[in-house]
């Protein structure tokens, strides 16, 4: 980083969208400085934890099976967002995913068929060989080859914006503040889900019991700076995507290995040892994203999924073994629950289980009768020891709030005018397209398509 | 179906912290699964729920140490989960070598690379040459030899050569076979099914093509595979050269040395070239690995075998070049000593990885069906 120099493009962020922007701008001839706030080992933001991107395609195309047409993609997006999406931008992303795999491959990304536990995504999502960190590493190698200047441990703390024009940024590096100048900015620094104070503003004290599944470096500082300077926002400011994860996971960065996937195979109780939602409502891939919020509403933001020996081997085990005990009573003691209460809940559930043909791979006929809340599928008596449990907490994946952009990735001011030389890509603007809900692999699609678009536009703006 | 897993002890116990480290990594990999497409280790992990010592030894010997999973790992150090699958499996692999070694006492050489190197690469050639010189007498040992047939046997009688190397070969073969059997009983036959033709064929193809060596390597470091091919096939060609020469001598009655255009010399020269280029290339690649992939404990063991192969080949080629000069006797002694050192150390060094890797590949082919 050279304080005496004016770069064509300053990229704030170091994940997928930031790299797509940096590579594209550099390929167009622009001088590019990429500022990653994390140290080198933790570079890549939450892209490090991703594993695929959702792609439209009209026929089988490695590694995708079948077809996934633009209209189908759009309908899926409409379903999960309940219409809270910008159709122009959404369709632009969808169309952009058709061609981006070639570009990714050319920059070192490799693909593989759908992972074993995610076969239901084989026709919609292209999986990265080795996952998101392998992708990030490939992009950083490409950036080094092309001559993108990269700084780690360099956090953009504030933006120098005068009369709506970006002039430079204040950067914290080695504990010192430095100024850097650039002709354009690409803001690609993610959401604010790792900013505990901000989470507390939105959710109150409950936020203290949330775990953050990804990087601790997504503090939303650039997002806040843009909001303070008058950028229009989009996406629900009070919502985040959360799943139920192992309550013993670390506060940050536990990632996929803390996910608990056995909820349909057991019952879930809160700290009072009471059930609170239908565990067998629908197939797990369609329901896992609601359990973060369900647990967040329970006392102490905690819950426990209880199952017995029958469930063993039917789900992908999280990294930590479950709490195990020979009886429900003993299990309750281990979990710190009132033993009699848990015994009552399990007994009531067991008594309500109706005979059926169990099949955990589809909506089966095992359900309860006369129980509130019911368990609609996969209901089997819990009576075969050892009895097991995972403690659950809400694990936050990402936040929805972002800056509004137009189809050229330009940030839009509150007066509706697009900014002259400020662009955004990735999670910081994903709320334009995903205002709420969740669609697997969409974040990487938005980051890739808008990252490339922002890089292209920023390079053009800087060199004209 | 998950493969059966037993915590039942195999031939020996692994150190507990190492087992815990292996189990920790395997559980995280089993929950993550992002590396599933990189190599067969990860699908093998996914077929299991628990990871006993046998499972860990199997996974360790299935790993080809390409490093692609460390590059891709979101939990690699300095992440607090500290997952370093290549390093953990390398340590488990070394421990398994010790576990399978027979007799147990020289198995200590697996961890004492310096001593092994001293014995095999320095002491054996020097002592062998010295003994040969003393027994043959200075007149014969230091005299120039025309390219006459039987010149080698003036320095060391044929029966002595056959006797010494027959015994060494038998010792090495016996120790290797016991190790192979222990390994197969540990994690091979516990698959519950006898290897069928399909599994053996699959494993054979994986061995001769080194399919998993370098697969999934982000920088196309599959070049390592070619260095390994040079080493592996170089070794086989040298072995073939010796076998053809034995037929020449014992069946056809043609004593060595043989002309440069003869089959044993051609095979030995090409194989010898492979054994110079291959080990040098492999060592070069190991030394220029990025810091997070440097593993000193592993490097020592690798270095011993590579040095022994390189030395055997180098002295053999020097002997070929100087076999008419006065240096022939010394070179013959040094070369035979190097071969003797190599043979003695085969069962107690990196060489065994080939045998145990085959067991792991057969098991993998069996359980992947």
| Residue A310 with chain B: CB contacts under 8 Å | none
User: Is a pLDDT exceeding 60 seen at residue B9?
Assistant: no
User: Is a pLDDT exceeding 80 seen at residue B6?
Assistant: no
Confidence (pLDDT) at B11:
52
Question: In this predicted model, what pLDDT tens digit does every residue of A12-25 receive, in sequence order?
Answer: 999 999 999 999 99
% of chain A exceeding 70 in pLDDT: 100
Q: Work out the minimum CA distance from A357 to partner chain B, whole angstroms.
A: 20
Q: Which residue blocks in A147-281 are alpha helix, DSSP H?
A: 196-203, 221-228
Confidence (pLDDT) at B5:
40
- The residue-averaged pLDDT of B199-214 equals 91
Computed on alpha carbons and rounded to an integer, the radius of gyration of chain B in Å comes to 22
Minimum-distance CB partner of B36 among A116, A134, A253: A116
User: Is a pLDDT exceeding 70 seen at residue B221?
Assistant: no
Write phi, then psi, for B304 (nearest 5 degrees): -60, -50
Task: Mark out chain B residues that contact chain A at CB-CB < 8 A.
Answer: 1-2, 27-28, 30-38, 43, 46, 49, 68-69, 71-81, 216, 218-219
User: Is a pLDDT exceeding 70 seen at residue B7?
Assistant: no
- The residue-averaged pLDDT of B55-74 equals 95
CA distance A157 to B292: 31
Q: Is B166 exposed, middle or buried (0-12, 13-18, 19+ CB in 10 A)?
A: exposed
Q: Is the dihedral of CA A157, A160, A161, A165 positive or negative?
A: negative
**DSSP code for A57:** B
- The residue-averaged pLDDT of A333-345 equals 98
Asked whether A445 and A34 are in contact (CB, 8 A), the reply is no
| Residue A134 with chain B: CB contacts under 8 Å | 34, 68, 71-72, 218
User: Is a pLDDT exceeding 50 seen at residue B2?
Assistant: no
Of residues B139 and A8, more confidently modeled? A8
Q: Is A319 in contact with B31 (Cβ distance < 8 A)?
A: yes
Q: Is A317 in contact with B27 (Cβ distance < 8 A)?
A: yes
B63 SS3 class: coil
Q: Is A321 in contact with B69 (Cβ distance < 8 A)?
A: no
Asked whether B38 and A130 are in contact (CB, 8 A), the reply is yes
Confidence (pLDDT) at A80:
92
B contact test, residue of A109, A130, A245 with most B CBs within 10 A: A130
Task: Mark out chain A residues that contact chain B at CB-CB < 8 A.
Answer: 41-42, 48-49, 51, 108, 112-113, 115-117, 127, 129-134, 137-138, 141, 250, 253, 255-259, 312-313, 316-321
Minimum-distance CB partner of B37 among A117, A129, A259: A129
User: Is a pLDDT exceeding 60 seen at residue B26?
Assistant: yes
Q: Work out the minimum CA distance from B81 to partner chain A, whole angstroms.
A: 9
Confidence (pLDDT) at A245:
97
CA distance A462 to A7: 9
Could you tell me the maximum CA-CA distance found in chain B, to the nearest angstrom?
72
Q: Is B38 in contact with A130 (Cβ distance < 8 A)?
A: yes
Mean pLDDT score of chain B: 90
Q: Work out the minimum CA distance from B193 to partner chain A, whole angstroms.
A: 21
Question: In this predicted model, what pLDDT tens digit does every residue of B136-157 receive, in sequence order?
Answer: 888 888 888 776 677 888 899 9
- The residue-averaged pLDDT of B228-237 equals 96
Asked whether A279 and A267 are in contact (CB, 8 A), the reply is yes
Q: Which residue in chain A has the smallest CA separation from B3?
A: A313
Measured in whole angstroms, the distance separating CA A226 from the mean position of its chain's CA atoms is: 22
Q: Which residue blocks in A155-212 are alpha helix, DSSP H?
A: 196-203
% of chain A exceeding 90 in pLDDT: 91
User: Is a pLDDT exceeding 90 seen at residue B44?
Assistant: yes
B contact test, residue of A115, A125, A152 with most B CBs within 10 A: A115
Confidence (pLDDT) at A168:
97
Q: Is B218 in contact with A137 (Cβ distance < 8 A)?
A: yes
- The residue-averaged pLDDT of A123-147 equals 96
Q: Which residues touch A395 (CB under 8 Å, ≥6 apart)?
A: A210, A211, A212, A213, A242, A243, A244, A245, A249, A254, A258, A259, A292
Asked whether B255 and B299 are in contact (CB, 8 A), the reply is no
| Residue A48 with chain B: CB contacts under 8 Å | 74
Confidence (pLDDT) at B219:
56
Asked whether B267 and B260 are in contact (CB, 8 A), the reply is no
Question: In this predicted model, what pLDDT tens digit does every residue of B286-335 receive, in sequence order?
Answer: 998 888 888 888 999 999 999 999 999 999 999 999 988 899 999 999 99
User: Omega into A370 within 30° of 0, i.e. cis?
Assistant: no
What residues form DSSP beta bridges with A150? A34
- The residue-averaged pLDDT of A111-116 equals 84
Q: Work out the minimum CA distance from B83 to partner chain A, whole angstroms.
A: 12
Q: Is B31 in contact with A138 (Cβ distance < 8 A)?
A: no
Question: In this predicted model, what pLDDT tens digit does every residue of A359-398 receive, in sequence order?
Answer: 999 999 999 999 999 999 999 999 999 999 999 999 999 9
- Confidence category of residue B220, pLDDT binned at 50, 70, 90: low
% of chain B exceeding 90 in pLDDT: 74
ipTM over 0.85: yes
Q: Is A141 in contact with B218 (Cβ distance < 8 A)?
A: yes
| Residue A255 with chain B: CB contacts under 8 Å | 32, 74-75
Q: Is B34 in contact with A256 (Cβ distance < 8 A)?
A: yes
Q: Is B37 in contact with A127 (Cβ distance < 8 A)?
A: yes
């Amino acid at each position: 980083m050279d304080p005496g120099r004016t770069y064509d493009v300053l990229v704030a962020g170091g994940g997928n969208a930031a790299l797509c922007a940096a590579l594209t701008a550099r390929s167009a001839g622009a001088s590019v400085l990429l500022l990653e706030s994390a140290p080198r080992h933790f570079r890549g933001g939450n892209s490090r934890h991703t594993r695929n991107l959702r792609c439209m395609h009209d026929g089988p195309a490695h590694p995708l099976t079948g077809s996934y047409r633009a209209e189908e993609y759009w309908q899926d997006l409409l379903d999960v967002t309940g219409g809270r999406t910008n159709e122009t931008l959404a369709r632009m992303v969808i169309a952009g995913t058709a061609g981006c795999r070639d570009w990714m491959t050319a920059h070192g990304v490799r693909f593989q068929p759908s992972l074993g536990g995610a076969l239901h995504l084989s026709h919609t999502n292209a999986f990265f060989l080795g996952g998101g960190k392998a992708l990030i590493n490939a992009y950083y190698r490409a950036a080094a080859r092309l001559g993108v200047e990269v700084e780690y441990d360099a956090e953009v703390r504030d933006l120098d914006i005068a009369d709506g024009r970006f002039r430079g940024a204040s950067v914290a590096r080695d504990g010192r503040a430095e100024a850097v100048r650039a002709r354009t900015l690409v803001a690609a620094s993610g959401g604010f889900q790792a900013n505990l104070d901000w989470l507390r503003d939105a959710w109150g004290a409950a936020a203290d019991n949330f775990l953050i599944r990804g990087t601790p470096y997504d503090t939303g500082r650039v997002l806040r700076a843009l909001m303070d300077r008058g950028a229009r926002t989009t996406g629900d400011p009070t919502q985040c995507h959360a799943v139920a994860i192992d309550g013993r996971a670390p506060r940050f960065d536990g990632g996929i290995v803390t996910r608990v996937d056995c909820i349909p195979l057991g019952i879930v109780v809160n700290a009072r040892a009471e059930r609170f939602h239908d565990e067998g409502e629908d197939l797990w891939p369609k329901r896992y994203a609601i359990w973060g919020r369900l647990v967040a509403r329970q006392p102490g933001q905690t819950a426990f999924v209880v199952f017995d020996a029958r469930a063993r081997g039917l789900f992908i085990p999280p990294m930590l073994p479950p709490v195990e005990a020979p009886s429900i009573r003993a299990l309750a003691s281990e979990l710190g629950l009132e033993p009699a209460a848990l015994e009552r809940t399990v007994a009531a559930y067991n008594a309500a289980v109706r005979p059926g043909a169990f099949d955990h791979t589809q909506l089966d006929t095992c359900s309860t009768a006369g129980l509130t809340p019911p368990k609609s599928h996969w209901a089997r008596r819990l009576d075969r020891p050892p009895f097991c449990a995972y403690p659950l907490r809400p694990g936050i994946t990402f936040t929805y709030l972002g800056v509004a952009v137009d189809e050229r990735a330009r940030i839009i001011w509150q007066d509706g005018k697009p900014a002259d030389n400020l662009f955004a890509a990735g999670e910081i603007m994903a709320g334009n397209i995903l205002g709420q809900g969740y669609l697997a692999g969409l974040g990487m699609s938005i980051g890739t398509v808008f990252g490339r678009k922002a890089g292209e536009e920023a390079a053009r703006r800087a060199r004209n | 179906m998950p493969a059966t897993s037993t915590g039942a002890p195999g031939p020996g116990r692994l150190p507990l912290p190492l087992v815990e480290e292996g189990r920790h990594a395997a559980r995280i990999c089993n929950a993550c699964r992002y590396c599933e497409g990189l190599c067969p280790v990860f699908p093998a992990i996914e077929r299991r729920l628990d990871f006993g010592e046998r499972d860990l030894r199997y996974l360790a010997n299935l790993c080809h140490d390409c490093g692609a999973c460390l590059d891709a790992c979101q939990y690699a150090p300095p992440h607090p989960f500290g997952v370093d699958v290549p390093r953990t499996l390398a340590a488990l692999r070394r421990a398994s070598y010790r576990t399978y070694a027979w007799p147990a006492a020289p198995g200590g050489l697996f961890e004492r690379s310096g001593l092994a190197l001293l014995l095999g690469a320095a002491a054996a050639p020097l002592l062998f040459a010295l003994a040969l010189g003393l027994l043959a007498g200075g007149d014969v040992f230091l005299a120039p030899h025309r390219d006459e047939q039987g010149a080698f046997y003036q320095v060391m009688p044929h029966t002595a050569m056959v006797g010494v190397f027959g015994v060494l070969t038998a010792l090495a073969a016996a120790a290797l076979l016991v190790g192979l059997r222990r390994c197969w009983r540990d994690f091979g036959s516990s698959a519950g099914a006898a290897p069928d033709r399909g599994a053996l064929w699959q494993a054979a193809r994986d061995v001769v093509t080194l399919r998993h060596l370098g697969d999934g390597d982000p920088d196309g470091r599959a070049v390592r595979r070619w260095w390994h091919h040079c080493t592996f096939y170089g070794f086989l060609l040298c072995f073939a050269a010796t076998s053809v020469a034995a037929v020449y001598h014992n069946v056809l009655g043609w004593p060595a040395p043989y002309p440069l255009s003869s089959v044993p010399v051609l095979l030995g020269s090409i194989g010898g070239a492979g054994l110079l280029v291959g080990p040098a290339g492999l060592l070069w690649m190991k030394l220029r690995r990025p810091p997070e992939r440097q593993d000193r404990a592993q490097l020592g063991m690798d270095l011993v075998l590579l040095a022994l192969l390189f030395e055997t080949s180098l002295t053999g080629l020097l002997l070929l070049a100087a076999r008419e000069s006065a240096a022939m006797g010394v070179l013959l002694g040094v070369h035979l000593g190097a071969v003797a050192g190599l043979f003695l150390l085969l069962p107690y060094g990196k060489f065994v990885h080939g045998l145990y890797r085959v067991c792991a590949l057969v098991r993998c082919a069996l359980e992947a069906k």
